[in-house]
Structure 1
């Protein structure tokens, strides 16, 4: 069996997050999830997550399909995280298709289709309009 690793912010946890984590877990026997820190999220999106990193990690860690959670401090450390957690497969959403192919020298890279019609950004915009 294989060790799987994936990364994400997982802010305002929704069914799309659950779907991709369950599907990632089904690819192996151990799922490790890197949760983007608040600072990393700000550097990527110029906004902090609605939920703080400790809360997001607690939610993801409580899922049956998740075996291990850690904080992703920087995008540039992905290779080190893959090696540190001895991942055989890196799983990402298909919105990242091709962007992580550089890691194919150390693990398989799989892009899973996202759940249609739901995203955290979309949910935040809807709530703002209320």
Structure 2
């Protein structure tokens, strides 16, 4: 809404929730739901196939264009952004968010501490949400691999 003369600007917190979002599951949904409750506008960063392969050692099961469409369609997400560089501060320069959301499996790790240090310098808060231990894309992928192996041996 445009602001007229004499009107105060309403605080507008932009949140950013990066992830591969492969084999979309309840843990992904929980992160996005919790993130949206802590900001006014939520951007989901969907990691490119190439970046996901660099980080995880293998490509996602679901291609980027489909992961992007899935994430963009979640009601908690206001916009989706394709992450193509590993440096989150570079991504921040493009998206300009106020809060970065991560799973708490990053808390206290060298990667998490670097993230906090880097973002402290530009005034971005890093907020951790509980990681869904009982469901992960890695576990789902393992189950799919096991089924494929069993079918091949069958």
- TM-score (norm: length of structure 2): 0.80
| Structure 1 residue 122 corresponds to structure 2 residue 139 | yes
- Aligned length, in residue pairs: 129
Deviations 1:88-122 (A, max 9, x none): 11111111114111212221111111123010000
Aligned equivalent of 2:24, options 13, 38, 52: 13
1:79 aligns with 89
Larger Rg: 2
Tell me: higher relative CO, structure 1 or 2? Use CA pairs within 8 A at least 6 residues apart: 1
Cα distance between partner residues in 1 of 2:32 and 2:84: 20
1:69 aligns with 80
Cα RMSD for the two superposed structures: 1.1
| Structure 1 residue 104 corresponds to structure 2 residue 115 | no
- TM-score (norm: length of structure 1): 0.94
Which blocks of at least 5 consecutive residues in structure 2 are unaligned? 1-11, 148-154
Structure 1 stretches (4+) deviating beyond 6 angstroms? none
